[in-house]
Amino acid sequence: MSEYTLLTIGEEKESLGNIEIARDVIEVVASIAALEVEGVYDLQGSIADDVAERFGRKSYGKGVKVDLAESGAVVTISMLIHYGSSVPVTAKQVQENIQQTVRGMTDIHIDAVNVHIIGLQFPEEEQPLQEQEK
């Protein structure tokens, strides 16, 4: 069995062949689309993603899970947002940007984008003047 789960698209009788897109590709596209939205601080991956990043392996699809079905895909994303950002507005913009970007790049229909806000990133407090001089 293949290491990747593939979604076949573009099956036409007069085509040149099949187009298959790996789930990882959709995860990467969705994560980049989410990070483009103002107010999103970072995506929160699993413990395995965090360990892999500590060893130098970049996890581009971290915090994104894609479930493929016959009709399309369901994207679930876990993220941190900046303190002061409107949670409903930011989440809605993330949903719209992911749906539009994935559809534009892969022609895969997105059935749903589930957004999980798991935390807030607070602005760093200003350091006292004495610590800045050191």
Domain for residue 108, yes or no? yes
Residue 4 falls within a domain, yes or no?
Answer: no
Domain housing 73: 22-121
Evaluate whether residue 11 is within a structural domain.
no
Q: What is the mean pLDDT of residues 103-129?
A: 85
Q: E-strand spans in 13-132?
A: 19-22, 40-43, 64-68, 73-82, 110-121
pLDDT in tens, 49-106: 656 666 666 666 788 999 988 788 999 999 999 999 999 999 999 999 999 999 999 9
Residue 7 has pLDDT above 70, yes or no: no
Does some domain include residue 9? no
Choice between 31 and 8, residue whose per-residue pLDDT is larger:
31
pTM given for the model: 0.76
**Cα dihedral sign for 89, 116, 100, 36?**
positive
Count other Cβ atoms within 10 Å, centred on residue 110: 20
Residue predicted with more confidence, 12 or 116: 116
d(CA 100, CA 91): 14
Per-residue pLDDT at 35: 94
Per-residue model confidence (pLDDT) at position 4: 58
10 vs 76, more confident: 76
* Residue 130, domain member (yes or no): no
The answer to whether residue 128 is domain-embedded is: no
Q: What CATH code is carried by the domain that includes residue 94?
A: 3.30.70.1350
* Domain annotation covers residue 48: yes
- Rounded CA separation 11/4 (Å): 20
- Tokens (6 digits) for 49: 């993603």
Domain count, the chain: 1
Does residue 132 belong to any structural domain of this protein?
no
Q: Please state, rounded to an integer, the average pLDDT across all residues of the chain.
A: 82
Three-class SS state of 74: strand
Angle at 22 between CA 19 and CA 28, to 5 degrees: 120
